[in-house]
Amino acid sequence: MSQPYGPQGQEPPLPPYAASQPVPGQLYAPQGHAYSPPAPPAPARSQALAIIALVLGVLAILIALTPFRFAAMPLAVFAAVLAIVALAVKSQGGTAYAAVGLACAAVGLVLAILLAMASTTLEQNNLRQQQQMQDCVSDPDRSAEEMLRCINGT
């Protein structure tokens, strides 16, 4: 007696279109060629130099605004060197960070130089005024009115 659904214990042959269908438990349908492993991912480009240049450039600006502005000058130069290296080495990535870091380093350096010059000029003026007051007050032969005129510069 023949079985209406074919012999028991054997799977029926697959129709021709089923060769490209996934088998249960298989995630993808076979492609008809040998398996080749996926391409390795591209190595992550390090942006470390560019980010360090950016951070140091921002620090140079902030330090330029403090009384320690002379320390901002070498920091800004170092940030600029790192930014230029990061821009020159294209494989590093982070060119935008490096460009902004270079700009911040330039601003920090210019700001530190200008503020250092301004503070030095102010200090010299203050010292000159103090010396003038000292000269006016130290003369024992001057009257109070003469001291005030001397101090006011008239």
Q: What percent of the chain has pLDDT over 70?
A: 73
Q: How many Å apart are CA 118 and CA 109, to the nearest integer?
A: 14
| Domain boundaries, given as residue ranges, for the chain | 48-152
Task: Check: pTM over 0.85? Answer yes or no.
Answer: no
Task: Give tens-digit pLDDT for 6-28.
Answer: 556 666 665 555 555 555 665 65
Residue-level pLDDT at 149? 79
More reliable by pLDDT, 73 or 38: 73
CB 52 within 8 A of CB 82: yes
Query: How far, rounded to the nearest angstrom, does the alpha carbon of residue 29 sit from its chain's CA centroid?
Result: 47
Q: Summarize pLDDT for 63-86 with one digit per residue, the tens.
A: 999 999 899 999 999 999 999 999
Query: Structure tokens of 3?
Result: 């079985």
Place of tokens 């560019």: 50
The Cα 92–Cα 88 span in angstroms is: 9
pLDDT for 24: 64
